[in-house]
Chain A
């Protein structure tokens, strides 16, 4: 088996023969051509690993041949050694500027050429290995990207529908994961007694791990809702699930609520999360005075025995509620300020009637406020209207 293919291009037959002799003896497969044109024809049949070409040749000269080889994406990686009768560093530099990988001055000693060939093949072997690894990495990256895109699609499928409706309410959302896939999640579950269970959560970190935990948070919420009770029971159950089933540094902030149109009341537990905003009479759009609802509490998952508290707020026909994760308001601007809850309250004071347009407007306003900085964390915004 040959050590590689070398194409020798020279219009002087004795030089081709000498080089051919030494190269064959060293174990290389040798191709010969007497000028650049014939060499290019030869290369259409067999692609060499290395070309040793004279500079001065009739028809297609060495410099033109070199430019053609190095200008073609298919052949540009072939190691090219130019042989020139013109000595001196200026000529060497101009040869290397043509794209040649190395230069040899005439007259040369055959052993010098062979040393250069052996050295070139070591470089060629390294280049081949880098190419192989690069192609393997590209394939791996493509596969990972495809898997992430699939996971992101599946995650979108876990969210309630855009422009959703449940008895007595309409709602919509904006979900912008920071890394294609995110640790935010929210769920709306209408219950048999006419109330609606709602949960919005933000798992610490983002990316695949946070996304997996967010799916677990949603499952945990839904299973505790099915068991009955109210927001305090659901939050305690979710806290226990996360504390017992995730690693020590993995937590979630969450808001868990039960919307009760019969009592015109929304009872909720704030677990380290941003408290919701109520816009009294806000479903008709126009100017209003939004109110940040009170509430604070431990994040879910710190310790299974930590206490949580439940509180209630008015939930009246015509009210609009904004639920969101902190990624929306915690982008540091160039002047080091933040939008913060106060900024979101300001933006929410005048919203259009359509909840979906309102959600889009709020996210756009936050983006414009932060520009040129962008959201660095997952962002979820839910606009929920209590219908009359």
Chain B
């Protein structure tokens, strides 16, 4: 497949792999060396590249780092489940935020004022029309 505009950047791929490595360690901290060792098992990757990716992730607030002795140690700022839950809350509950409604186009925007029974009746009508003999 050609490297079109819809394919994620290589850097984005690496960020993802690095996050997965940190997540796999259950909030335990890892040194750059440790992350590099894990990644290098599957691919050809330079130590400095891992350092750059971790640095980018730290700037984005995705990972936290702290000085331990003479080296930096990194850990994920939040678990994948926490981030997913927060993301779902943001995208589903901010019904009043016109910005989010214009930025992301939902299959079904926000919650509905309709009663489920009314929706079920409307659905039944669609089904009846599609199959009048049933």
**A pairs with B:** no
Give the interface of B toward A (CB within 8 A): none
* A residues neighboring B (CB under 8 Å): none
